[in-house]
Amino acid sequence: MNSYHAWLDRLLTTEAPSLQQSDRKWWRIRILSFLKYCREYPETHGHEVVHIAKGYLSSLTEDPAQKSWQIDQARECLRVFIRGIENWHWDQGKPRFRVKTRFSSYGNGVDLNESTLSSSKSQKKEQPDSSTHPIPIDWKQKLLKSLRVQHYARRTEQSYVSWSLRFVKFCENQNNASVCFPQDARHYLEQLATQSKVTAATQNQAFSALLFFHRTLWNEDLQDMRSTIRARRSTHLPTVLSAQEIRTILKHLTGTMRMISELLYGCGLRVSECVNLRIKDVDFTRMTVEVRAGKGRKDRFVMLPNTTAPALQEHLARCQALWETDRTNNQPGVALPDALERKMPKAGKTWPWFWVFPSKNISRDPLSNVMRRHHIHASSVQKALQNAAAKAKIPRRVTCHVLRHSFATQLLENGTDIRTVQELMGHTNLETTQIYTHVMKKPGLGTKSPLDV
């Protein structure tokens, strides 16, 4: 095993010189785990190393114990490993390879195991540090087409186009209408951090947009940039209001805005999920609300608060009168998701598909360019809630998401099982829900300070 470590240390020193010493041990473990995978799984025998690597990473993806950052780490380790070897072949059911010339004194014929998602042939040659590409005139149309083909959310589409536009302007100032990767990406992200003072989450969002931008326009992936540019995200505890504070805020809200705020707090909805509700999503018989295509395009059911139900029924009666007016005026139906407008062309004019919170005015649909009735805008809810919090003299920043945080925290404080809270919140990982255990009331927080004793 010492010979393994000697060769791996030399490989990592040469191929990943920026790797920190504390991470070197885990990279060795990942590569040795890959070698073990190759020996133990017969279905890998006879295949190219890149093909096996893909299978290995797929097995990690299917393992619920593996976190996303661990899979990214394994992918980067194997990319470096494959770049440093040559002459991959099989001998008596075992994979063999030679290290490249600069490592020739460190061994040959090493058994190999798991797989990688790196590109194959391009990694056998030394990759240049950068490549310069002219910026296409129709880059925005290509980017939008790729985003919609892959069914990205509307908000993600807007975000990626916005970051790409800023990056293109940055490159035009630097390189006269050309993009030099990865240098320009690094310089731009450094500028965001040092001059614009953006948070780590914002910087990572910009980085994801640049990766998609480059992959779409030039069909090149920048996997080697993932470990060198990603900003380390800090852990922030959510702002949570007490039940009394929320009741005080609700007193300063009326009509539709109060109803939406009650649903945000009483159902744990995101503001985008609430304003996108349709008539068919509210079931007064079962007292449930069905959230369609929430974050991550996931559906879920949440409870409908009993105290909100009567006011919501009166509100829907007024909405039905508005819907009948649209039908009398022969207005186009509301927008439908995906291809439903083509499959069911008359569904947009039916009552079940009408908005629970429709806008008062007719506006132009940005996707279809049709003048129709849209739902109420989320920004109007945010402004109304902030004005109510100011009138209630709440000394904290109150947003729509704070009501969602308060919903989850107070459920946990009342003894609700954390798995139930996870399902109601629509979280993919339990770790996301566990953040609320750090802000809920605990017996230890009632302990007196030594200064007060």
Per DSSP, the residues of 3-45 read HHHHHHHHHHHHH-TT--HHHHHHHHHHHHHHHHHHHH-GGGT
Sign of CA dihedral 429, 433, 434, 438: positive
DSSP label at residue 344: S
Q: Which of 187, 295, 300, 377 is catalytic?
A: 295
Q: Which of 252, 300, 372, 401 is catalytic?
A: 401
**Would you call 427 a catalytic residue per the annotation?**
yes
Q: How many CB atoms lie within 10 A of CB 265?
A: 25
**Would you call 265 a catalytic residue per the annotation?**
no
Q: Which of 79, 270, 278, 373 is catalytic?
A: 270
Rounded CA-CA distance 225/230 in Å is: 8
For 37, residues 6+ apart whose C-beta sits below 8 A from its C-beta are 44, 52, 56, 59, 113, 114, 115
**Would you call 401 a catalytic residue per the annotation?**
yes
DSSP label at residue 66: S
**Would you call 343 a catalytic residue per the annotation?**
no
Q: Which of 28, 404, 438, 448 is catalytic?
A: 404
As beta bridge partners, residue 181 has 131
φ/ψ (deg, to 5) at 436: -75, -15
Helix 200-218 to helix 139-149 angle, to the nearest 10 degrees? 100
Residue 350, classified by CB atoms within 10 Å of its CB into exposed (0-12), middle (13-18) or buried (19+), is: middle
Q: How many CB atoms lie within 10 A of CB 304?
A: 19
Are the C-beta atoms of residues 143 and 161 closer than 8 Å to each other? Answer: yes
Radius of gyration of the chain measured on its C-alpha atoms:
27
**Would you call 124 a catalytic residue per the annotation?**
no
Q: How many CB atoms lie within 10 A of CB 88?
A: 17
Are the C-beta atoms of residues 393 and 252 closer than 8 Å to each other? Answer: no
**Would you call 404 a catalytic residue per the annotation?**
yes
The residues carrying an active-site annotation are 270, 295, 401, 404, 427, 436
